[in-house]
Structure formats: C-alpha cells, structure tokens
Amino acid sequence: LAACSADDGAESPTGTAAPVEDVASGLSAARGGTVAGLPEPAVPIAELRSGGPPPDGIPPIDEPRFLPAAEVDFLAENEPVLAVDIDGEARAYPVQILIWHEIVNDTIADIPVAVTYCPLCNSAVAYDRRVDGRVLSFGTSGLLWNSALVMYDRQTETLWSHFTGEGIVGVLTGTDLETFPVATVPWGAWRDAHPDSLVLSTDTGFSRDYGSNPYPGYDDVNSQPFLFEGEVDGRFTAMTRVIGIEQGEAAAAMPLVDLRDRRVVQVQLDGRQLTVWWSPGTASALDQQVIADGDDVGATGVFVPLVDGDLLTFSPAGGGFVDAETTSTWNLFGRATDGPLVGTQLEAVEHVDTFWFAWSTFRPDTDVVTG
C-alpha cells in the first residue's frame, strides 16, 4: 500500500496547525486532541483509523493544470479516467493521477468542485465545495472510516466522509455536500466523444510514478479490504465490484459481473425508470503493477430513458446501444450518435462503481439487482 505513505522522496505538504477560521478543529480531535467546543460527532471517533500518513501526506492537487484532449499522450486507450461534465464544461481526471492524490480542488464552469477518489473503496465522487457562503479547500486527513477516505477542509478542519459527503467530526458535522455526476470510463472512448475536453496533466508539482498502481492485486475478489473492521453483508464477497445507485431514499446495487453479461438493465428506483449500461474496454486501476495492463472491468452509465416524455427501450449494439423505438444508436455517455435522435443527450444519473463492502456498509438498506 505504497500510496498510504508520504515517505517516497517527493515533497508532500503537511496539515495545517489550526483551521483558517477561529473554530475548534475536528481534525485535531480525531487525532487525539480535545473535542471541547465541537458538536457531537456523527460517527464514533474510535472508529476512525490511521491509514499511515499525516494530514496531506497523500497530497491533494490544489492548483490543477490541464491539457487539451488532443495533446494527451500519456494515457492508454483503456486507462480509466473520472469524467465530469458541469454545465457543458467537460473534464477528465486520469485515475493514474488520482490514485496518488485522491483529491483535486478545482473550479468547473465557475463552480468550486472537489473531485475525489478512494483507491481502497474504488469509488469516485465529485462535490460542490461551497458550504454556507464559504468555499472549502479539501485535504486528505490520513484517516479512514470503514476503509474509506476521510477528507478534511482547511477552513474549519471538519472531517468529511468521502463516500457520503457528510461532515462527521467538527463544526460542520451533519452538513451534507452537494454532488455532481462522475463516471469512471476508458480514456479512448472519452476522448473520441469529448475531443474538446480538458484533461488533468501529470504536471502536478509532485514526483509520482504516474501510470503505475501502488496497490497491485488489491481488487482480487477473494482479498480483504484494508483496515476494514466491520461485518460484510453476506449477499456478496467484500471485494465484489458493484454499481451503486441512489434515488430519493432508495438505494440499489448490481454486481458488475451480472451487468456485464446483460449490458443493459432496466431498473425502477423510488418510482423512477432508469436504464443501466455496461460497456467493455476499461482497465482496473487496482489489478496489475501497470494500470493499463489491468483486467478489463468495463464502464457503466445510468440514465433516465426519456426523450420528450417518451420512454425508450435499450439493448446493446456493438460497443454501444440502440433504442427499439427509433433505432438510434447511443454511446456510453448517453448521447445519440446516429439515427433520428442523433445529438440527443439523455439525463445522466449519479452512480458509483465500487466494492460491495463499501456500498453495503454506507447503504446497509440497499436492494440488490441480479442477473
């Protein structure tokens, strides 16, 4: 677990001595300090575990640099990138970079955003950094909760769950961050569909072996999650890859192996019709020493299958998808690329590709969709 250590010869910042605002520090309290002046933590502090490094020992990227997609030459076609599109401004964040940094503090379409990735849960979530009139800047706390990244903000030093976006220790305890859809997709498909997008550069200001995986073999379905002390929901093994979807108060998960066999699944969740897609061609970032050599775990998309109020029925077609009603063809990103509906974009639905232990721990009420 090399990325859990800051002692690799590269410069890494350390956490702040005190929050920017004059408030009690949740970060300090969770690392053995006092809880005086803080609201009741949302989780028992005793359940937080040190992952090894100090605050920001896994350094977030605070001044991200980007390249036009056409100029990127360091990514293999099958390498996973985190795809974010806010108000038509599309950006890709290579997992080969995020696996070493876990957080990018960015601004997209004039919105302060934190793009976050937890290797131990294989989960990607994008958050709005605005809370109560302030803009937060996030760092890595060096702590884990249920094996998941725990972030902290530098303004109040509140601790935040990467997986849920909830403030869990500190003055902002109980606050929920707003989210944006993010999908883990293959670089080649993203580039072809979004040739004008920007891509996070490896010019990060840090010396890391980008392209390599510091957690080789971690996603073996028979392995165990790192520093996870909870009970695993027995419906699947801990490291089973699933897609998790939330709608309202409802949650559902489906093993990727089942989705891969069918490629298209129609789901109704909280009264809403959804279409769930799987497409081949994305390497696992947590399998081989070189990310591009990883096993093909594919990529997913979740969309509302409505166009002008009409419900569409989808099926796989080659590397893409086709609807029965108009015979239009669609790509993984929910855009019609040919046929009567060419250029039409389906509404994307937030989802997360992750391990079963993480999804079922944070959403113990989840339903399961099987093949």
SS (H, E, C) 59-127: CCECCCCEEEHHHCCCCCCCCEEEEEEECCEEEEEEHHHHHHHCEEEEEECCEEEEEEEECCCCEEEEE
Return the pLDDT at 20: 72
pLDDT for residue 30 is more than 90:
no
Return the pLDDT at 10: 39
pLDDT for residue 13 is more than 50:
no
Return the pLDDT at 371: 64
Percent of the chain with pLDDT over 70: 94
Percent of the chain with pLDDT over 90: 85
**CA-closest candidate to residue 247, choices 166, 162, 349, 371:** 349
pLDDT for residue 21 is more than 80:
no
Read off the pLDDT of each residue in 118-143 and give the average, rounded to a whole number.
97
Residue 303's H or E segment, with its range, is strand 299-304
Q: How sure is the predictor about 100, in pLDDT bands with cuts at 50, 70 and 90? A: very high
Average pLDDT over the chain reads 93
Q: Report if pTM > 0.85.
A: yes
Q: How sure is the predictor about 230, in pLDDT bands with cuts at 50, 70 and 90? A: confident
Look at 22-26, 116-120, 300-304, 335-339 and tell me which has the smallest mean pLDDT.
22-26
pLDDT top residue among 39 and 94: 94
H runs (alpha helix) in the chain: 26-30, 95-101, 187-193, 256-262, 356-362
Return the pLDDT at 22: 66
Read off the pLDDT of each residue in 248-259 and give the average, rounded to a whole number.
96
Do residues 312 and 303 make contact, with C-beta atoms less than 8 angstroms apart? no
Do residues 159 and 181 make contact, with C-beta atoms less than 8 angstroms apart? no
Three-class SS of residue 335? strand
**CA-closest candidate to residue 193, choices 324, 330, 339:** 330
What span, in angstroms and rounded, lies between the C-alpha atoms of 281 and 191? 13
Look at 9-13, 55-59, 144-148 and tell me which has the smallest mean pLDDT.
9-13
- Residues with Cβ < 8 Å from 56, sequence gap 6 or more? 12, 13, 14, 15, 139, 140, 142
Distance of CA 180 to the CA centre of its chain: 10
Both ends of the chain: CA-CA distance in Å?
A: 34
Return the pLDDT at 15: 45
Pick the CATH number of 241-368 from 3.60.60.10, 3.40.50.300, 1.20.1200.10, 2.102.10.10: 2.102.10.10
Q: How sure is the predictor about 59, in pLDDT bands with cuts at 50, 70 and 90? A: very high
Give span(s): CATH 2.102.10.10, the chain: 241-368
Look at 6-20, 150-164, 220-234, 253-267 and tell me which has the smallest mean pLDDT.
6-20
Return the pLDDT at 29: 84
Return the pLDDT at 12: 35
Q: Residue written as tokens 């090399």? A: 2
pLDDT in tens, 256-276: 999 999 999 999 999 999 999
What span, in angstroms and rounded, lies between the C-alpha atoms of 192 and 172? 41
pLDDT for residue 112 is more than 50:
yes
**CA-closest candidate to residue 228, choices 352, 356, 60, 57:** 356
Return the pLDDT at 32: 77
pLDDT in tens, 202-220: 999 999 999 999 999 999 9
Q: Residue written as tokens 């997360």? A: 352
What span, in angstroms and rounded, lies between the C-alpha atoms of 101 and 56? 9
Read off the pLDDT of each residue in 50-75 and give the average, rounded to a whole number.
96
Read off the pLDDT of each residue in 67-92 and give the average, rounded to a whole number.
97
Return the pLDDT at 7: 40
pLDDT top residue among 31 and 194: 194
pLDDT for residue 191 is more than 70:
yes
